[in-house]
Chain A
Amino acid sequence: MSETGAAAITPSPREAGGGPGWGAHDAPTPPLPTSPPLRGGEEVLAHVLDAFHARVQASTAVKKLLARWDRLVELRVTGGRSFFLRSKGGAMLPPTTTAEGTPEIVIGAEESVLRGIFSGDLNPARAHLDGQLQAFGSQKDHLVLDAIVLLIWGY
């Protein structure tokens, strides 16, 4: 993981397990005793974020947005754990369940809402308007995050 410049971000237990799927594309890393195993819904969300990350990596339009946007995003599942997305140097790093540093953006929501947004089933604007999201951080940063989702799943 340090090779990709993500030294500040620590991986999930599944990554440590070295199996396929979420985070498996990273180099092997030591286990994290503080990170409990993913529950069913969270595991699905982890897969969704993995797929989202792959799409981001393949999108030229998103890369243009990320070029000027180094940020740490925390996705906080209501009553559950957090997932982290970090953009750095024009790329998005693989999602993780722990991260160093203070996130500039925090999105709190039910697991199903986060899954809907990052899988393209739920427009983030709709989720905001319906009060399904708790958002912390600057409005401009939230707009950029919404724009990334729109570019991945828009028309």
Chain B
Amino acid sequence: MSISKAAPPPAARGEGDAPFKFAEFSIDKWLRVVPQGYLKGTSFGKPQGAGVPAEIREQGMLRQVYLMDLALFIAAERVSTRVASGLLRLAPDESSFCFLASQTLDEARHFEAFANRFRELGLEEERREKLARDLLSPAYRGFFDLLLEAVDKGDFEAGLVGLNVILEGMAFPLYDYEMRYWRPFDPALVEIIHGAFKDECRHVGFGEKHLAWRLGRDPGVRHRVQRHVSDLSLKMRDVFAEFLATFVGFYDLAIQEYPERCESVEILPGRRLADTTADEQVRWLEGEIARGHRKRLERIGLESVL
């Protein structure tokens, strides 16, 4: 990102705050809710001293799936940190400026927490990076490139809708799914994911509110953002389709060694893992991803192509 394209300080432009409550997205609130709230007493997002369970330490499919999950989280959080910090420099008003500062730290914290868990498995950074490179699909890479390009060009709204609404919003059902899947095996990982999920909920909320306000004031901007939304949404749908087709199948294979541990797991709302095929899980998740996405865009005043 070139320095010349960074936005001038909000105060210098004489712009007022967005007409939603500044305090709702302030750093002051963030400090109370996050570091002094649900992260209090944790270490790298989980209870202090929470070791790696034996099933994950020993060689087996569960370990492989676990490592793949971590590698993909790490890759996504690293890009999210870069995009959020780029958006911070472009922030058009003070509330956005303060919120994006906290979001940048959230994303970097997620990166660090997942990277730390990987390290706790005794694996070096080099292996982690190779695994992430191996698993990152061309569609996912393309999506990340579009986000970074938007920030690089100084397009605040495109970057914000891409990161906060499309990437993080469409991932909502996956966070829930991952927590349900890993609960019988590693509660500490579930706590890391849950903490990250709570952060993402705030990010999506901010993105929706800011964009609804901004786009409502300027139809030209809405038209431009709509084009980006359609392109990014289709790319992200492809990313999730690839991811789900592969990972849910691997998840399914991995738990076959532990039928008794998974017997009572409710993998989808009202559906037991033991009675739900991998295909059914994928179809439900794809439906939820598209449904949630449409609702979010509707709230912002945009149309969905999904």
Residues of A within 8 A of B (CB): 59, 61, 64-65, 68, 123, 125-126, 129-130, 139-140, 143-144, 146-147, 150-151, 154-155
Contact = CB atoms under 8 A, between A and B. Distances in A.
Interface string B126-151: 01000101111110000000000000
Interface string B236-257: 0000001001100110010011
A65 B61 CA distance: 9
Interface of B: 59-61, 63-64, 67, 121, 123, 127, 131, 133-138, 242, 245-246, 249-250, 253, 256-257, 278
Contact of A125 (B123, B246, B278): B246
B61 A155 contact: no
9 contacts: A68-B256, A125-B246, A126-B133, A129-B138, A143-B253, A151-B59, A155-B63, A155-B64, A155-B127
B126 to A, nearest CB: 11
B253 A147 contact: yes
A144 B278 CA distance: 13
A86 to B, nearest CB: 20
A129 B137 contact: yes
Contacts of B138: 129-130
A125 B135 CA distance: 6
Given A64-B257, A143-B249, 12 more contacts: A61-B59, A64-B256, A68-B256, A123-B131, A125-B134, A126-B134, A129-B137, A129-B138, A154-B59, A155-B63, A155-B123, A155-B131
B246 A147 contact: no
